[in-house]
């Protein structure tokens, strides 16, 4: 059990256990001559070879400044501008020598530091004293702001996250067949389709487009289904008294339509005798 990572162990513990466990390894700041450098050197003097790569570990001039301040255990609010500027310029000089494509941001920061330094040195007119703010204030504000988010980034990095610390748990699904749901249809889509086909067929032209009781059309279908057995049905059996007068009218109209459309036969043996109806064609007669 000794080599198992303890649950909830901190990252420091992980670093030592990294060699034996599949834990995340600490990323070296740089690799110099094949040797990983895990710590930023404590001395200001860094061999130029190493500096080149170490500088890549900095996320810009604010990061470098923060490093210089923190390395000397200085309160960020209390920057000894002259000293920090000197150190910063040392770095910049080496960077200049080593890396032609030195980011402009570093040079801008050097200018800012130089300006702050000169303003601190210059005597100020007495009436302005106490009104003008510390020339370092803006830089301090930026450093503080940056440091917050630098910390926030570390905090986010420390959150347990998928792949590194967690993983989805899933079970196999045998018979992974897909249930198909039919697409939804909007009534409007259907009506637009009808409008277009009517236009195309120029049905509006020679068809009465006045109100056509569609319930009659539906009843035509209902009646046809009832007659679908091909047998004769008594006229009265097609009516449902519970539907009321309107229902009776709809059924009657549908019978007339069906007859007109030659879909049913209506028969009466003698006047006042029972009326029989029959579908003219049924599934049995269809081939």
Report if residue 94 touches another protein, rule: CB under 8 A: no
**Cα–Cα distance, 118 to 1 (Å, whole number):** 61
Largest CA distance in the chain: 130
Footprint on residues 218-277 left by another protein (CB under 8 A): 218, 220-222, 224-225, 227-228, 262-263
**Cα–Cα distance, 263 to 16 (Å, whole number):** 91
Report if residue 78 touches another protein, rule: CB under 8 A: yes
| Residue 31: both structure tokens together | 């690799």
| Residue 11: both structure tokens together | 């990252």
CB of 263 to another protein, least distance (A): 6
CB of 268 to another protein, least distance (A): 19
**Cα–Cα distance, 143 to 77 (Å, whole number):** 9
Asked if 98 and 48 touch (Cβ cutoff 8 Å), the reply is yes
Report if residue 101 touches another protein, rule: CB under 8 A: no
**Cα–Cα distance, 204 to 217 (Å, whole number):** 19
CB burial of 151-180 (b: ≥16 within 10 Å; e: otherwise) equals eeeeeeeeeeeeeeeeeeeeeeeeeeeeee
Between 47 and 148, CB nearer to another protein: 148
Length of the chain: 287
Report if residue 187 touches another protein, rule: CB under 8 A: yes
**Cα–Cα distance, 228 to 72 (Å, whole number):** 99
Asked if 3 and 19 touch (Cβ cutoff 8 Å), the reply is no
The binder of another protein chosen from 32, 52, 117, 147 (CB under 8 A): 147
CB of 49 to another protein, least distance (A): 22
User: Could you tell me how many residues of this chain bind another protein (CB under 8 A)?
Assistant: 121
CB of 193 to another protein, least distance (A): 4
Stretch that binds another protein, among 32-40, 44-52, 70-78, 87-95 (CB under 8 A): 70-78
CB of 272 to another protein, least distance (A): 28
Report if residue 68 touches another protein, rule: CB under 8 A: no
The binder of another protein chosen from 4, 49, 83, 240 (CB under 8 A): 4
Asked if 265 and 278 touch (Cβ cutoff 8 Å), the reply is yes
Report if residue 165 touches another protein, rule: CB under 8 A: yes
**Cα–Cα distance, 84 to 68 (Å, whole number):** 7
CB of 200 to another protein, least distance (A): 6
CB of 122 to another protein, least distance (A): 12
Footprint on residues 188-217 left by another protein (CB under 8 A): 188-198, 200-201, 203-204, 207, 209-215, 217
Stretch that binds another protein, among 31-39, 84-92, 183-191, 267-275 (CB under 8 A): 183-191
């Amino acid at each position: 059990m000794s080599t198992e990572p303890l649950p909830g162990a901190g990252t420091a513990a992980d670093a030592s256990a990294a060699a034996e466990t599949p834990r995340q390894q600490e990323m070296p700041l740089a690799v110099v001559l094949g040797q990983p450098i895990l710590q930023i050197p404590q001395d200001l003097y860094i061999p130029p070879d190493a500096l080149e790569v170490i500088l890549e570990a900095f996320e810009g001039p604010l990061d470098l400044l923060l490093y210089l301040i923190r390395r000397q255990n200085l309160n960020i609010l209390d920057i000894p501008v002259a000293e920090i500027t000197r150190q910063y310029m040392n770095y910049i000089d080496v960077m200049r020598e080593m890396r032609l494509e030195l980011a402009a941001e570093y040079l801008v920061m050097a200018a800012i530091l130089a300006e702050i330094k000169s303003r601190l040195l210059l005597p100020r007119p007495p009436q302005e004293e106490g009104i003008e703010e510390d020339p370092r204030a803006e830089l301090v504000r930026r450093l503080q702001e940056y440091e917050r988010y630098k910390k926030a980034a570390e905090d986010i990095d420390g959150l347990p996250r998928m792949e590194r610390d967690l993983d989805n748990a899933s079970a196999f699904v045998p018979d992974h067949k897909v249930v198909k749901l039919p697409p939804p249809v909007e009534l409007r889509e259907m009506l637009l389709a009808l409008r277009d086909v009517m236009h195309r067929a120029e049905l509006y032209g020679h068809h009465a487009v006045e109100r056509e009781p569609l319930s009659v059309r539906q009843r035509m279908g209902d009646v046809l289904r009832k007659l679908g057995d091909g047998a004769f049905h008594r006229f009265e059996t097609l009516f449902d008294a519970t539907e009321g007068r309107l229902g009776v009218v709809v059924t009657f109209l549908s019978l007339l339509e069906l007859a007109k459309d030659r879909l049913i036969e209506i028969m009466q043996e003698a006047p006042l005798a029972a009326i029989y109806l029959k579908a003219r064609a049924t599934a049995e007669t269809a081939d």
